[in-house]
Structure 1
């Protein structure tokens, strides 16, 4: 049953990537919506889930919040090391093509996240079937946005569509692999909580430092772009609310 539900997540991920590919001529709206979705994923899904795992505290701070800050700062540090922002903001769109590796890293992180989504389905089935179905519904609902973001992030940095499609396929397969593997090897809660915090910091940095500035470049920025960001955030709020 866990593997069957993960196959549905596989299909939803592919659908999200297909939508991102088809609407690329309105790139500002795609990026605006993606940023809103990512903000919603961090605020309404990743951090609350990480903090609910009854994890350890280090010097008075929950482990997921420490890894959240570490993830945010790690990406910023890497960017400073390669002088990614040495150019003027107005040159950002042209400058980003030299940093395709960042897009691959972002897409790869989403693949890992999808793997853990599948692992969550498998782990839930080891405890309670009702809980497992609720978890699976949540995973399936937001795997559409995972596929959407995987394709968008990978192509944002100048990667060829072939690479984006490859990562999209890996992202789609990942929940199936996670659900299958978890039936044999459960993931410790402390490790899972630490990862969720780390990924949340990584995702928030990309949304605020890269995707939103690119969506609002002077030649593209419109009121509709802002509306798309708000809609993306509200959409994730609705998804999480319906699956709680």
Structure 2
């Protein structure tokens, strides 16, 4: 089997696995799941500390670590200047909607000292404002940020798969490692997207785009392997992706869960379970 055929087979299997994992939170009537979000935070922390950072340091040494800050700041600045950040006030999750012209003084995705307001233009041109009991509108920031961060990591996975696929045994090990953590990562992404109000169809489509970053990354590797020092680039991308994961889990998901309350023991257990899953995959990932 040629390298191209191996890559095609591996990426197809990863796509199926990712879509399977990503479809689980979409079955039935699934809304926001604080347990799922806490598990997601554990998966992200585990991926950053048990997989991405050790691999980056192994490839290029401790000098690669400043790229963690690059990834962290990139996502921070994206949320600060482009995306609407998660709401700061605690409270119930009741939604209020109205179809009416946008009130004077209220801007789409804007906020004042007491409330956030998000405007959604319907097919009839009416503007609907959605808020929860805190005066905080239902937003899509966390879902989009999660998609960007996870896709960056998956692109790097594609680099790793492309680099390893020239050797049959190593390529198989890397494929198994990627497949093993793409399933829980896809589950995490869908849980976050559903919690942020994305439809099931859109969440599944974004999961497919997320999984397709593997063949995209592998293809880019095949093109660039003779042009640049791909190993160094991959290590930097891994470190930067780890920074985005740390930002998502520590600055967005976990503070949001703290504000909303819930069972401390259950949510802590879900967080630890996510960490345990990624720790369990550690030996498989270290094979490459």
TM-score over 0.5 (shorter chain): yes
Q: Which residue matches 2:9?
A: 4
Q: Which residue matches 2:105?
A: none
1:41 aligns with 2:47: yes
The CA deviation at 1:228 is 0.8
User: Could you say if the C-alpha distance between residues 219 and 192 of structure 1 is closer, same or farther in structure 2, counting changes exceeding 3 Å?
Assistant: same
Equivalent pair of 2:159/2:234 in contact (CA under 8 Å): no
Alignment of 1:79-94 (within 5 A): 79-81=79-81, 88-90=88-90, 94=132
Equivalent pair of 1:116/1:178 in contact (CA under 8 Å): yes
User: Could you say if the C-alpha distance between residues 96 and 102 of structure 1 is closer, same or farther in structure 2, counting changes exceeding 3 Å?
Assistant: farther
Which has the larger strand fraction?
2
Q: Which residue matches 2:74?
A: 74
* Matching residue within 239, 247, 272 for 1:197: 239
Equivalent pair of 1:151/1:164 in contact (CA under 8 Å): yes
* Matching residue within 157, 161, 172 for 2:211: 172
Structure 2: how far apart are the matches of 1:118 and 1:82?
28
Larger RCO (CA under 8 A, 6+ residues apart) = 1
Question: Which secondary structure does the structure 2 equivalent of 1:158 belong to?
Answer: coil
CA RMSD of aligned residues (A): 2.8
Structure 1: how far apart are the matches of 2:85 and 2:224?
42
The CA deviation at 1:194 is 1.4
Question: Which secondary structure does the structure 2 equivalent of 1:202 belong to?
Answer: helix
Equivalent pair of 2:85/2:141 in contact (CA under 8 Å): no
Q: Which residue matches 2:23?
A: 18
Greater gyration radius: 2
Equivalent pair of 1:6/1:176 in contact (CA under 8 Å): yes
1:132 aligns with 2:174: no
